[in-house]
Amino acid sequence: MEEALLVVENSLRHRAAGRATNRPRERVVGGPDVQVNTMLAADYELGIHGFKTYTLASGVYRFFVYLYDSESADLLAIIEANRMGQLRTGAATGVATNLMARADATDIGILGSGFQAPTQLEAVCRVRDIRHVRVHSATPANRERFAVEMSQSLGIEVTPVSSNREAVEGADIVITITSSREPVLEGAWLSPGMHVAATGGADPYIRELDDEAVQRADLIIVDDLAQTKIESGELMMPASRGLVLWEQMRELWQVVSGEVAGRSSDADVTLFKSLGMGLWDIDAAKVVYDKAIASGMGRRLGGIS
């Protein structure tokens, strides 16, 4: 996670300097219940380009990153990326939280306990002195398992609770990482000074936050605005009705570079909407590739240098 946090932050610094670029995700329906997704990026600072492609078939996701050397155009590696994507997604939340949450934040409310939830919590705990976490998800057994496992792995108190509201109220930081099609976070539950990381849902018809939660944010930061305008239901829906303006949103690289302040006061409600960036994937892949070469791991394929 420490490496992933550094990778994400550095990739955004490269973008801020005009040394990296990212393209919005493209999606193709590959057949009944089959989706094919591609995320493309280039990092001129590192001399690499590439893409992540992932499929959803029969309810199973499979992720692969293709990493290229930009000078030679050689394909350096094909890397299975389920775990790598889990780490970089959590790290992005950690980077945003470090810049946007109050310095004295100690309590987290997390909504969701699935595959992506552990690294979300781990990353935030790396950037803040977290003392207590409340978790709610739809299935009691899942949230209870998550609470036990994360309490042990992070060495902090993680408590399962019976409602989203119970998890959120009184928290300093709120993480939403669900697959819900309807809002799990209501604006009425937010208090001054909260930071919200909305990291689940990348679909124009899905939203984790209701309109009031979006409107209560004093600052809205997204990872990639072009992608947000076609994939973030919680922002697209209120924007279409004039309840929030695209012009008031900023991108995370602007906060990382210092161009935009992560918060103006301890009373601000701040919101980070994360959809994922191919830039994070190729930069993470470069770290994995370099370590694999140095340690002699991986399998060399014919015709790939």
pLDDT of 145: 98
pLDDT of 300: 86
Greatest CA span in the chain, whole angstroms?
A: 58
- pTM score of the predicted model: 0.95
- Is domain 103-276 in CATH 3.40.50.720, yes or no? yes
| CA–CA distance, 87 with 118 (Å, rounded to integer) | 9
User: Given this structure, which CATH class describes domain 2-84+279-295?
Assistant: alpha beta
pLDDT along the chain (305 residues), means of 10: 98 98 95 93 98 94 97 96 97 98 98 97 98 97 98 97 98 96 96 98 92 98 97 96 97 98 98 98 98 92 63
E strands within the chain? 20-22, 26-31, 34-43, 48-57, 60-69, 75-80, 107-111, 132-136, 157-160, 173-176, 195-198, 219-222, 249-251, 270-273
pLDDT of 62: 95
pLDDT of 59: 87
Query: What ranges do the domains of the chain cover?
Result: 2-84+279-295, 103-276
DSSP run (H or E) holding 182:
none
pLDDT of 303: 60
